[in-house]
Structure 1
Amino acid sequence: MHDPLPATGRQFEITFGAARAVVTEFGAALRAFEVDGVPHSETFDPDRLPPSAAGSVLVPWPNRVADGRWALDGEPQQLALTEPGRNNAIHGLLRHAPWQVVEHTTSAIVLQATVPAQQGWPVPLLTSIGYGLDEHGLTVTHTVENLGGRAVPFGVGVHPYPRAGEVDTDECTLRLAAATVLPVDADRLLPARPPRALEGDEVDFRSGRRLEGVWLDTAFGGASPAPDDPEGLVRHSLTGPDGRGVQLWADPVFKWVQVYTSGDFPGRGRAIAIEPMTCPPDALNSGTDLITLQPGEAWTAHWGLKTL
Structure 2
Amino acid sequence: MSDGEIGGDIVLTRGDLAVRVSRRGAAVAAATYRKMPFFVAAGGPNGAMANFAMVPFGNRVEGNAMSFAGRDYAFQPNTSDPLYRHGDGWLGLWQLEEASVEHAQFSFSRSADEVSPYAYLTRQEIRLAGDTLVLTLSVENRGETALPFGLGQHPFLARTPKTRLTIAANCYWNERPDHLPDMPGPVPNEFDFRSGKLLPQTWMNNAFEGWNRRAAIAWPELGIQAALEADGGFDRFMLYMPVDRSDFFCLEPMSHLPNGHHLPDFGGLTPLAPGDVLAGKVTILMSPLPAQPEG
Query: Fold-level match, TM-score > 0.5?
Result: yes
Q: Separation in 1 of the partners of 2:220 and 2:33?
A: 19
Gap change, CA 1:66 and 1:54, over 3 Å in 2: farther
**For 1:40-90, what per-residue CA distance to the aligned partner results, in whole angstroms no more than 9, with x for missing partners?**
2113699x8135x641211111011112111232222111124655x3221
Gap change, CA 1:215 and 1:170, over 3 Å in 2: farther
- Which residue pairs with 1:91 in the alignment? 86
| TM-score calculated relative to the size of structure 2 | 0.86
After TM superposition, the structure 1 = structure 2 runs for residues 22-171 of structure 1, keeping only pairs within 5 Å, are 22-43=20-41, 49-50=46-47, 54-82=50-78, 87-119=82-114, 121-163=116-158, 169-171=160-162
Q: Separation in 2 of the partners of 1:275 and 1:297?
A: 24
Q: Separation in 2 of the partners of 1:288 and 1:274?
A: 18
* Shift of residue 263, structure 1, vs aligned partner: 4.3
Contact 1:169-1:211 at 8 Å conserved across structures? no
Letter in 2 for 1:89: Y
- Which residue pairs with 1:184 in the alignment? 175
Q: Separation in 2 of the partners of 1:106 and 1:117?
A: 35
Choose the corresponding residue for 1:207, options 168, 173, 195.
195
CA-based RMSD: 2.4
Tell me, which stretches of 5 or more residues in structure 2 are unaligned?
A: 1-5, 288-295
Gap change, CA 1:264 and 1:54, over 3 Å in 2: farther
- Which residue pairs with 1:282 in the alignment? 259
SS at match of 2:182: coil
Give the structure with the higher percent strand: 2
Say yes or no: does 1:262 pair with 2:260.
Answer: no
Q: Separation in 2 of the partners of 1:196 and 1:45?
A: 29
Number of residue pairs matched? 279
| TM-score calculated relative to the size of structure 1 | 0.83
